[in-house]
């Protein structure tokens, strides 16, 4: 089943810029990646789990299964922690 976004029975036109942005985010198997890739040094926030709301710095991906290593600043000491990538977000 396919659906078209619109109001009532009328479709909403989408600008070429929006279409190109979506195409630019397409990866393997034409899947669109919604999140930006994290880079070493990016500031982030833990959004779930026992470390929720702590701030840290992204270090590197540990596996293709979503594990990453981050540095959390706890009581003045940077502590390396492995966590699942879906548990963190880039800090605004």
Query: Is residue 3 over pLDDT 80?
Result: no
Per-residue model confidence as pLDDT tens digits over 20-74: 888 877 777 777 766 667 889 999 999 999 999 999 999 999 887 889 999 998 8
What count of other Cβ atoms lies within 10 Å of the Cβ of residue 62?
A: 14
User: What is the per-residue pLDDT for 22?
Assistant: 80
Residue length of the chain: 92
3-class secondary structure, 21: helix
* Residue 52, in any domain of the structure: yes
* Residue 54, in any domain of the structure: yes
Quote the number of domains for the chain: 1
User: Which CATH number do you get for residue 68?
Assistant: 2.30.30.30
* Residue 11, in any domain of the structure: no
**Domain encompassing residue 85:** 43-90
* Residue 53, in any domain of the structure: yes
User: What is the per-residue pLDDT for 69?
Assistant: 95
- Both tokens assigned to 88: 């963190």
* Residue 27, in any domain of the structure: no
């Amino acid at each position: 089943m396919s659906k078209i976004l619109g109001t009532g029975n009328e479709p909403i036109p989408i600008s070429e810029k929006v279409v190109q942005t979506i195409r630019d985010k397409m990866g393997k198997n034409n899947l669109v990646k919604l999140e930006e890739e994290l880079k070493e040094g990016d500031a982030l926030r833990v959004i779930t789990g026992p470390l929720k709301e702590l701030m840290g710095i992204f270090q590197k991906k540990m596996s293709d299964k979503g594990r990453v290593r981050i540095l959390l600043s706890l009581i003045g000491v940077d502590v390396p922690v492995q966590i699942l990538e879906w548990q963190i977000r880039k800090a605004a």
